[in-house]
Chains A and B, each alone.
Chain A
């Protein structure tokens, strides 16, 4: 052990008695067999990595923010005049936002769109997750409906306006499934995976997906949806399984609401 007033052999700094590592440069002062902790300040320059990660987070904020702004604008507009074509307009605007974000990032996201053969075991896992999801989500909505909670329905509004069934399916089932999957499991989850580990990215995109639906009543169900679809994307490295399940779930909802 160095005596008080002794110097660190690496940086020449005066060290206090009883010190085992130099507080100035981290050099080992005691004769031990362990390796030196890296003698230089062990941090890489934070500027570049921060900038890269901040760019990814900004992409997430932009996509989320623009979709939220669209919800806001159309929400206010439909207070003035509730017209079904506004749902079409909103879907169109959301589609443009998401497709532009996707196009700007397509090179890094192309892997999600590759069609790959899927093993039987993997298919079974996907089917199992789908089944579990449908059971849990149905249970949740059944519970809140039977608790007397009034729930709105886009299907109802479109049906009242006399829209054909195929158009209702397109607006309520197919388009949201595609666009939301491209946005959340496509752009957002992929960007988040460049900043966080896969698990945190998965949780964050599920949380963002759930809150974007505005009503806290559906936060739990849509968080579950985000988790399931996100897990399917993580496991399969493909956008398609989640998109398929999402579309089927939305179609189930429409089928359930159609007879009225």
Chain B
């Protein structure tokens, strides 16, 4: 993994994380650190820039995927130089990562913390899209599963008079054979339609999230939690099925809510 930070006009810091824990840090091409020692938030790589300012590179464990690498110069978090050039959101002029204001229009540029928050919001929006896809897959899968069960149950009711009362009460209710047939036949379609409605809701929310992340992510989180609860009431076994994935999705959504709120309140 390689990271580059343009700290200002005259200083560029590069960090290379190689195999077997190798860590090499260079400032303007000059090596300032080369070791395999563990790096963490509490034990950062410390070095000095040519102008005397203090630099510190720390690894922050991330919830999913690769850990985040932070460079702080005199305590201020630096914006990483990415593959794509940074542009001003207002006038689309290319800017340097270390610019705090756009050189063309004067509007404030996002800070390094803002970029981090935006990443979290993007992850949450991504989680919403993942949910949309999951609901479509679940809808189709459970449709066929439920249809098999429904066909088997309908076969048992074959030949019975529709107006006759079914002898065995279900969930405390007594039904006629006709009513039971209607409920059973509806079963698979109900499952499919419900999951498709949920997929559409998630898709709509992911589109709304592009314009206004916080409301969309809040509603998506509430909807998903409600779906889990409703499934849990219908079949308590579903509570433990795939719990790891469920926890991960909810964690991304909640992180997204906090990040979206932080971005909103920063723009005061």
A148 to B214 CA separation, bound complex (whole angstroms) = 38
- Closest CB of chain B to A19's CB: distance in Å? 4
Q: Are A68 and B226 interface neighbours, CB within 8 A?
A: yes
User: Which residue of chain A lies nearest to B95 when distances are taken between CB atoms in the complex?
Assistant: A23
Q: Convert B201-243 into 0s and 1s, putting 1 for each residue whose CB lies closer than 8 angstroms to a CB of A.
A: 1000000000010110011001101110110110010000000
- Closest CB of chain A to B239's CB: distance in Å? 10
Q: Are B106 and A37 interface neighbours, CB within 8 A?
A: yes
Q: Are A150 and B215 interface neighbours, CB within 8 A?
A: no
Q: Convert A1-36 into 0s and 1s, putting 1 for each residue whose CB lies closer than 8 angstroms to a CB of B.
A: 000000000000011101111111110100000001
Pick the contact of B233: A19, A23, A26, A72 (CB < 8 A): A72
Q: Which residues of the partner chain A approach B95 to less than 8 Å between Cβ atoms? A: 23
Q: Is the interface of B mostly helix, strand, loop or mixed?
A: helix
Q: Are A214 and B229 interface neighbours, CB within 8 A?
A: yes
Q: Are A53 and B197 interface neighbours, CB within 8 A?
A: no
User: Which residue of chain A lies nearest to B257 when distances are taken between CB atoms in the complex?
Assistant: A57
A25 to B98 CA separation, bound complex (whole angstroms) = 12
User: Which residue of chain B lies nearest to A203 when distances are taken between CB atoms in the complex?
Assistant: B215
Q: Convert A41-52 into 0s and 1s, putting 1 for each residue whose CB lies closer than 8 angstroms to a CB of B.
A: 111101001100
Q: Convert B72-102 into 0s and 1s, putting 1 for each residue whose CB lies closer than 8 angstroms to a CB of A.
A: 0000000000000000000000011011111
Q: Are A200 and B103 interface neighbours, CB within 8 A?
A: no
Pick the contact of A44: B101, B229, B261, B268 (CB < 8 A): B268
- How many residue pairs between the two chains, A and B, have CB atoms under 8 Å in the bound complex? 125
Known: A37-B107, A46-B268, A150-B182. A72 touches B232 (CB 8 A): yes
Q: Are A41 and B233 interface neighbours, CB within 8 A?
A: no
Interface centre among A42, A149, A207 (most CB of B within 10 A): A207
User: Which residue of chain B lies nearest to A149 when distances are taken between CB atoms in the complex?
Assistant: B186
Pick the contact of B219: A26, A42, A208, A215 (CB < 8 A): A208
Classify chain A's interface size.
Answer: 35 or more
**Is B198's beta carbon under 8 Å from chain A?**
yes
Q: Which residues of the partner chain A approach B100 to less than 8 Å between Cβ atoms? A: 23-26, 41
Q: Are A49 and B265 interface neighbours, CB within 8 A?
A: yes
**Is B66's beta carbon under 8 Å from chain A?**
no
- Chain B, range 3-49, C-beta contacts under 8 Å to A: 9
Q: Which residues of the partner chain B approach A41 to less than 8 Å between Cβ atoms? A: 100, 108
Q: Convert A243-260 into 0s and 1s, putting 1 for each residue whose CB lies closer than 8 angstroms to a CB of B.
A: 000000000000000000
Pick the contact of B229: A20, A28, A43, A68 (CB < 8 A): A68
Known: A21-B103, A204-B215. A214 touches B230 (CB 8 A): yes
**Is B119's beta carbon under 8 Å from chain A?**
no
User: Which residue of chain A lies nearest to B262 when distances are taken between CB atoms in the complex?
Assistant: A50
**Is A64's beta carbon under 8 Å from chain B?**
yes
**Is B105's beta carbon under 8 Å from chain A?**
yes
Q: Are B215 and A76 interface neighbours, CB within 8 A?
A: no
Q: Are B101 and A26 interface neighbours, CB within 8 A?
A: yes
Which residues of B pack against A, CB within 8 Å? 9, 95-96, 98-109, 171-172, 182-183, 186, 190, 194, 197-198, 201, 212, 214-215, 218-219, 222-223, 225-227, 229-230, 232-233, 236, 257-258, 261-262, 264-268
Instruction: Give 9 nearest A-B pairs by CB, closest first.
Output: A75-B233, A23-B99, A21-B106, A26-B101, A19-B103, A37-B106, A49-B265, A82-B172, A50-B265
Besides A72-B232, A214-B226, 8 more A-B contacts (Cβ < 8 Å) are: A24-B101, A28-B106, A41-B100, A43-B267, A46-B268, A75-B229, A212-B226, A214-B230
Which residues of A pack against B, CB within 8 Å? 14-16, 18-26, 28, 36-37, 41-44, 46, 49-50, 53-54, 57, 64, 68, 71-72, 75-76, 79, 82, 148-150, 195-196, 200, 203-204, 207-208, 211-212, 214-217, 219
Q: What are 29 contact pairs spanning A and B, CB under 8 A?
A: A16-B9, A20-B104, A21-B105, A23-B95, A23-B98, A23-B100, A24-B100, A24-B101, A26-B100, A37-B101, A44-B268, A46-B265, A46-B266, A46-B268, A53-B261, A54-B258, A57-B261, A68-B225, A71-B229, A75-B229, A76-B232, A149-B190, A195-B261, A200-B215, A204-B218, A208-B219, A211-B226, A216-B227, A219-B197
